[in-house]
Amino acid sequence: MSEIPLLADLLKRHLDSTGSSARALAERLDASYPSVLAWLSKGGVPRKAEHREGLRRELALAPDVFARIIAASSKEPIDIPHEGPLDLRQLLLKHLGERNLTERTFADIAGVPYATLMGITRRGAVPRQDALQRLAQALGLSLEAVREASSRTRGEAEAAGHEVEVTDDAGLTDQPPTATITAIATVDVMPEATGQELARIARERVAGSGLSVAAFARTHDLPYLALSKLLATGIEPEHAETLQQLRAAFPAVASPSPAATSASAAPAAASGGSRALRRSDATDQVADHPLHELLLRLVRERGWSQQRFAQESGLAAPTAAKL
């Protein structure tokens, strides 16, 4: 196994160097606190694509590097070399990891049985010719490249003195792959604000919170001096991890499409007059009374969904919706 850092070790060093906490990280990723603790203490890896992408950006890692780290940190660690030829399992895990795709999602895209994908990625099996062709097309690679990777898997098995497992590809669909993964955006990533734009967003967020800069930094586990300098001068911190922390706290807001703008302008009567928080961010909600205003401000600041608000406040979902 080559010297690939494990995700748990990287996260611990990141939290130590930034002065952040596991709870603050969970909030930034919209992940549960126990999940983050499991990544840190048990060496697990996130299952959800949005959590993986959030961690990759939090750690400021390139997709290919992060894919190698996820593969090495799994319960059954796989070494994906930075250079040189790959066997079929390494090839699949590399491409799926770079795009945060699960085996099940990719199986649907490629039109191959889920069991076939699991056999390759978990046990080092090789599929038959028809399935190899599907995999090549879905990966956006030549059939020859995938065949060579499959041959390396066979060679590794022979060198280890055992027969390679051949997957049972029964259930191969009649439909060709629906797309290549190179054309799929698996995670809706928010654009990153920079420079004066980042400072503007930060000023609006801090001012809207009603807190002092020191209190805002303390509440959101942000470095006070770096935040103060950004607010006063619009100059980004030089330290990459500090900059990434501020960008995660103050994400840029993508411009809405004309259709989305028209939809948001529709009369509130269409929703039956309910004040329930929408699953997005409730930015278009109008407060009816002081308590409602405070709750809306809390949800907007933290980027919570209605479900997350219910979980954090210990309320039943219907009660949270009424509030």
Q: Candidates 1.20.150.20, 1.10.260.40, 3.90.420.10, 3.90.1580.10; correct CATH number of 7-73?
A: 1.10.260.40
**Region 195-249: CATH code:** 1.10.260
> With 60 as the cut, is the pLDDT of residue 174 above it?
yes
Beta bridge partners of 166: 126
Comparing C-alpha atoms, which of 55, 81, 319, 92 is closest to residue 189?
55
Tell me what percent of the residues of the chain surpass a pLDDT of 90.
Answer: 16
> What's the burial of 184, exposed, middle or buried (CB within 10 Å: 0-12/13-18/19+)?
middle
- pLDDT, residue 217, reads 80
Cβ-in-10-Å burial (0-12, 13-18, 19+) of 118 comes to middle
- pLDDT band at residue 255 using 50, 70 and 90 as cut-offs: very low
Q: Where residue 195 falls among pLDDT bands split at 50, 70, 90?
A: confident
**pLDDT at residue 132, as a whole number:** 92
Give residue 190's pLDDT.
46
Calculate mean pLDDT across residues 124-134: 90
Cβ of 45: how many Cβ atoms within 10 Å? 20
pLDDT, residue 105, reads 84
Predicted local confidence at residue 151, as pLDDT: 93
Nearest to 190 by CA among 235, 262, 253, 240: 253
Tell me what pLDDT residue 323 has: 64
Task: Give the number of other Cβ atoms within 10 Å of residue 83's Cβ.
Answer: 5
Determine what percent of the chain is predicted with pLDDT higher than 70. Answer: 73
Burial status of residue 48 (CB atoms within 10 A of its CB: 0-12, 13-18, 19 or more) = middle
CATH architecture designation of domain 88-183 = Orthogonal Bundle (1.10)
pLDDT at position 260, please?
38
Give the tokens for residue 298.
Answer: 């809390």
Name the pTM for this structure.
0.54
User: Given this chain, do its domains 7-73 and 195-249 carry the same CATH topology?
Assistant: yes
Q: Give the 3-state DSSP-derived string for the chain, with helices as H, strands as E and coil as C.
A: CCCCCCHHHHHHHHHHHHCCCHHHHHHHHCCCHHHHHHHHHCCCCCCCHHHHHHHHHHCCCCHHHHHHHHHHHCCCCCCCCCCCCCCHHHHHHHHHHHCCCCHHHHHHHHCCCHHHHHHHHHHCCECCHHHHHHHHHHHCCCHHHHHHHHHHHHHHHHHCCCCCCECCCCCCCCCCCCCCHHHCCCCCCCCCCCHHHHHHHHHHHHHHHCCCHHHHHHHCCCCHHHHHHHHHHCCCCCCHHHHHHHHHHCCCCCCCCHHHHHHHCCCHHHHCCCCCCCCCCCCCCCCCCHHHHHHHHHHHHHCCCHHHHHHHHCCCHHHHHHC
Domain segments of the chain as ranges: 7-73, 88-183, 195-249, 276-322
pLDDT tens per residue across span 204-248: 888 877 778 888 887 777 888 888 888 888 888 888 778 877 877
- pLDDT: which is higher, 65 or 303: 65
